[in-house]
Structure 1
């Protein structure tokens, strides 16, 4: 069982919110299977109450409030630089899994649509024994779903502090370093390995191509501290060259990935895997709560489930590929009517690093037609703001459960020069099918509606309606 806040961890059962066993997803109710399981859940909570008390102390120490900032793309736009449209799925290309120490990070500036592009959220693999990290959530003036979620970590002895981006779509930790002298590096905090008594060099380099340039670096090992939790002998990437404009305006100093080790550049061990091997978590899970609109309060939790952040029950679905957090989708509905697009199965990558809902190129036109969207001169797909409440609900069927996205989830209202306009936060991907199945990306549009739990022990994902 995954531990709710104040409860113990153990077993493999579904967690329900504070006595609420209703079906909030409309298809299926998840409850303990039998009396023995219910008894085990109750006894587990009682027997480990002392552990829960200790965890609460750790949580207080690990809470990190973060500030709002503009996205990379919005900041570049204010300087007169518009990054080109890029397929959000480019970072999932097969060459990412080659034996070389390369990792494709094409969309770290992220995209919403060709002219309203978005900064990316990337996830953290490096937290220990049940703590919650508060994430920054910001809204840009012109594209108010442009979100970046990042928080503080420290590296080395004595500790050097950095702001990092948290990404379920990558697996490595890297930060700016003194070995880099480009403008992008010079505008950020840089790690100095010479000032750390626990640093050791590996002698291996890496290369990470992205949209408007590339990132070169070298690997080393050091102590990583996140929220007062220490991971020993952690692989870190130190940038040596960051050409281009992308990272110049970024408010973060590096990226911390939460995907599986199979996609780690250089074959290095991700932070989450070191946390598991060093027994730093009471349960090998992490979870995301992404606040809606301009609200603060986005949270990344490790080792626990916070029942105050969701309603109803958690429904689980297995990971279909232990590379990214990839799951199967059995159906796609528009206003409750099955489209048949996933009748032979679809796949979806759950990626905190993509802000939009990304649909296969074969169906994106049908979705936009059903919504009644029209393409504007600047390439954005727009709808009549007065008709937003009348737009269809889009639903995904996952392991027998329907997960609806109301119009408020996929439509963004903008204000510019006193005028209101509404755009569609659904973008196409041109990535080839996965084993013959169309690929979707569940980015922030989906994740703001559903509290998400990532279970490494059982290789499964859980979703519940966000509070």
Structure 2
């Protein structure tokens, strides 16, 4: 469920935003990419031949001073240009996220090209007729015969271009008036775009300007059928919720639920500067993560907080839910959620996976599945796994971090995959070096401000993991706070988070990285996997 909306991360160039409407989604599914690629390529070839043949014809005509009437119109030049433009737009639409918009643009250009092809057809037909009447095809002069032959060839390719343009127009009409209204197709699209039952929705927010905090996002769970907003952490095994009796400004807002309904005990619970007692309840109910229902899960019911945790989730959060799974993460003897799920037979294969969907005008929204990733969310055979560095912790090794794959920023360092964390955190020296390469216009409390007008010219940032390159482009790692305020998502880690052996500071790869891929936290095989998102995947929609 949506906890609260995400900070909008800026508009994509027109046509690139990949509209999220059901109509747009149907266009993505139904568009015949292979057929349009073939048609577009052949149209470009025909347009090029018409263009070249007209120039060759004009050269010979000028040689013999035949510079009047239908022989000197130069119609093939303009026709060739418009035909080639139509082919280019047809090819472009295959690479754009908003297929519906670019298909319409290609249609308009193709209609213009068709009109020129008709004019070209008429003029070249007249040329061929004149050449036949005057006997130019049988002339003893090779150049004169060539002029007639060029006119005939141009007529042939002009007709072929006209037929190809008509084929594309017919394809467009077929998609609009038949496929988009076909009930069987609608049922197929609904099935393709709807996640399985083992799923839940969650959302992120990216509040900025708090360099002394790890900025995170909340997800909504349910305990005893009461909605609870928790910060979901891949770096912790703690699970605590603030009691209605929690006192002090550091206590989260608890007005949305009644903690007296939980099964409280007198056993003390103390961790991370929070204090309370152990309680339990039925985890799941009407609001779930990954399809979990009816799980008896103990947690801390907090009555006091010494210092607010260095976390900021947005308007409201009620507690923290960690999903590391090592025995070291047992807090006050309480097993983490993944361990409990395994003990109660709720997991077929220990793991949790996340996929994110974002549109240019909608929040960044997450989708979770327990056990394994939902095949609908990723492109087959693109998952790559890397082993975790410490059993039970989601830390793994990154081989290299580079700007444009050329300028190395850091090598062989530990990193944590962190869904719902709004930034990418790292050691101060490496972050500073990286942001310098991005040309920060201003620094404030470790935050790098970028000139918004320069965003599209910024370099790509590539993380190499297990010899696989994972590249972020500027749209991925720049946060658009407003029309003229842009921030780098690379921020110094204020906590200097260290590995369990305290040997090194690890990087935290938050939403700017995670949201681009499908991630799988595989506790059965002690590994973390990443895959290419299925561009057709959407959260449930109504058609």
Give the equivalent residue in structure 1 for 2:486: 422
Quick one: which of 324, 327, 336 aligns to 1:259? Answer: 324
Give the equivalent residue in structure 1 for 2:158: none
1:283 matched to 2:349? The reply is yes
1:162 matched to 2:228? The reply is yes
Q: Is the 1:353–1:443 contact (alpha carbons within 8 Å) kept by the matching residues of 2?
A: yes
Quick one: which of 492, 501, 509 aligns to 1:442? Answer: 509
1:209-265: CA deviation from partner (whole Å, max 9, x where unpaired): 3xxxxx322113333225374454422110112477888974332222111242343
Give the equivalent residue in structure 1 for 2:221: 152
TM-score w.r.t. structure 1 length?
A: 0.62
Q: CA separation in 1, counterparts of 2:223 and 2:332? A: 22
Quick one: which of 245, 269, 279 aligns to 1:205? Answer: 269
Q: CA separation in 1, counterparts of 2:397 and 2:417? A: 11
1:296-346: CA deviation from partner (whole Å, max 9, x where unpaired): 44211112322332335110000111353100111122212262731xx21
Give the equivalent residue in structure 2 for 1:349: 416
Q: CA separation in 2, counterparts of 1:377 and 1:237? A: 37
Aligned residue pairs: how many? 327
1:363 matched to 2:430? The reply is yes
Q: CA separation in 2, counterparts of 1:206 and 1:452? A: 32
SS of match in other structure, 1:273:
helix
Give the equivalent residue in structure 1 for 2:65: none
Give the equivalent residue in structure 1 for 2:449: 382
Flag the structure with more relative contact order, 1 or 2, with Cα contacts below 8 A and sequence separation at least 6.
1
Q: Is the 1:190–1:253 contact (alpha carbons within 8 Å) kept by the matching residues of 2?
A: no
Change (3 A) 1:438 1:341: farther
SS of match in other structure, 2:383:
strand
Q: CA separation in 2, counterparts of 1:248 and 1:316? A: 29
Q: CA separation in 2, counterparts of 1:432 and 1:465? A: 29
Give the equivalent residue in structure 2 for 1:235: 298
| CA apart distance, 1:172 | 2.1
> What are the within-5 Å matches in structure 2 for residues 105-124 of structure 1?
107=213, 110=214, 118=215, 120=216
Give the equivalent residue in structure 2 for 1:272: 338
CA RMSD after TM alignment: 3.2
Change (3 A) 1:166 1:294: farther
TM-score w.r.t. structure 2 length?
A: 0.54
SS of match in other structure, 2:246:
coil
| CA apart distance, 1:202 | 5.5
Q: Is the 1:175–1:190 contact (alpha carbons within 8 Å) kept by the matching residues of 2?
A: no
Gaps of 5+ in 2: 1-193, 536-543
Quick one: which of 338, 349, 372 aligns to 1:304? Answer: 372
Q: Is the 1:259–1:325 contact (alpha carbons within 8 Å) kept by the matching residues of 2?
A: yes
Give the equivalent residue in structure 2 for 1:97: none
Quick one: which of 221, 233, 239 aligns to 1:173? Answer: 239
1:124-145: CA deviation from partner (whole Å, max 9, x where unpaired): xxxxxxxxxxxxxxxxxxxxxx
Q: Is the 2:398–2:463 contact (alpha carbons within 8 Å) kept by the matching residues of 1?
A: yes
> What are the within-5 Å matches in structure 2 for residues 300-339 of structure 1?
300-311=368-379, 313-337=382-406, 339=408
Give the equivalent residue in structure 1 for 2:462: 395
| CA apart distance, 1:453 | 0.4
Q: CA separation in 1, counterparts of 2:247 and 2:505? A: 42
Give the equivalent residue in structure 1 for 2:138: none
> What are the within-5 Å matches in structure 2 for residues 49-128 of structure 1?
59-60=196-197, 63-65=199-201, 85-86=211-212, 107=213, 110=214, 118=215, 120=216
SS of match in other structure, 1:265:
coil
Gaps of 5+ in 1: 1-56, 75-81, 87-106, 111-117, 121-147, 210-214
Give the equivalent residue in structure 2 for 1:218: 277
Higher alpha-carbon deviation: 224-233 or 253-262: 224-233
Q: Is the 1:189–1:253 contact (alpha carbons within 8 Å) kept by the matching residues of 2?
A: no
| CA apart distance, 1:409 | 1.2
State the structure with more CA Rg: 2
Change (3 A) 1:359 1:169: same
Q: CA separation in 2, counterparts of 1:379 and 1:256? A: 28
Q: Is the 2:342–2:350 contact (alpha carbons within 8 Å) kept by the matching residues of 1?
A: yes
SS of match in other structure, 1:372:
coil
Change (3 A) 1:382 1:448: same
SS of match in other structure, 2:388:
strand
Q: CA separation in 2, counterparts of 1:346 and 1:245? A: 30
Q: From the two aligned structures, give the one with the greater strand fraction.
A: 1
Q: CA separation in 1, counterparts of 2:372 and 2:313? A: 35
Q: Is the 2:517–2:530 contact (alpha carbons within 8 Å) kept by the matching residues of 1?
A: yes
Q: CA separation in 2, counterparts of 1:216 and 1:270? A: 18
Q: CA separation in 2, counterparts of 1:459 and 1:421? A: 40
Q: CA separation in 2, counterparts of 1:371 and 1:241? A: 43
1:262-298: CA deviation from partner (whole Å, max 9, x where unpaired): 2343232011111111111222121111333653442
